[in-house]
């Protein structure tokens, strides 16, 4: 059985604005990638994300983008003891659903960890990170407040 999770939140802004909060590196860098993001999320591209708590930019492969509906990325798992000593990637899918009243439901799913102790630890860590990302996105997009500022360093 593969480890996976799903988290979601409702953001009080139209789907186009919420989608851009993930796809546009300038916006993403304001509330999530504390070390900055380089490159717009577009199908087939590889962009760079950097976090103050995980110093050093790392590549994010953009598998699929459907404007205002879905973004799929792949990136290296943060697993200190991968099976057979081989690093592996996980797949993260963002889904954007327009709701009544100009709101948007954002759902983030990630999968790809093996059923190992370090795979489980890595999956739980990413689940926590994506939950925090949704909270930070909501605060930034709705109110212009950066929840992550000073949170990790």
Can you tell me the mean pLDDT for 1-13?
A: 93
* Reported pTM: 0.94
* 152 domain residue, yes or no: no
Can you tell me the mean pLDDT for 19-38?
A: 96
Torsion of CA 27, 15, 129, 80, to 10 degrees: -90
Is residue 52 predicted with pLDDT exceeding 90?
A: no
* 93 domain residue, yes or no: yes
* 150 domain residue, yes or no: no
Is residue 49 predicted with pLDDT exceeding 90?
A: yes
* Sign of the alpha-carbon dihedral angle for 53, 126, 111, 28: negative
* 118 domain residue, yes or no: yes
Number of domains in the chain: 1
* 50 domain residue, yes or no: yes
| CATH number of the domain enclosing 136 | 3.30.530.20
CA 120 from centroid of its chain's CA atoms: 18
Per-residue pLDDT tens over the stretch 100-138: 999 999 999 999 999 999 999 999 999 999 999 999 999
* 10 domain residue, yes or no: yes
Mean pLDDT of the chain: 93
Range of the domain at 114: 3-143
């Amino acid at each position: 059985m593969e480890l996976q999770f799903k988290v979601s939140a409702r953001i009080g802004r139209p789907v186009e604005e919420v989608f851009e909060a993930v796809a546009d590196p300038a916006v993403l860098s304001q509330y999530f990638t504390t070390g900055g993001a380089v490159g717009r999320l577009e199908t087939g591209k590889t962009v760079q994300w950097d976090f103050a708590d995980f110093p050093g930019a790392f590549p994010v492969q953009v598998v699929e983008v459907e404007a205002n509906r879905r973004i799929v990325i792949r990136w290296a798992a943060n697993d200190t003891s991968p099976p057979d000593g081989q690093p592996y990637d996980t797949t993260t899918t963002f889904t954007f659903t327009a709701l009544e009243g100009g709101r948007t439901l954002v759902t983030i799913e990630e999968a790809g960890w093996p059923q190992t102790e370090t795979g489980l630890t890595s999956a739980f860590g990413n689940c926590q990170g994506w939950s925090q990302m949704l909270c930070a996105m909501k605060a930034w997009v709705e109110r212009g407040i950066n929840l992550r500022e000073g949170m990790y360093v």
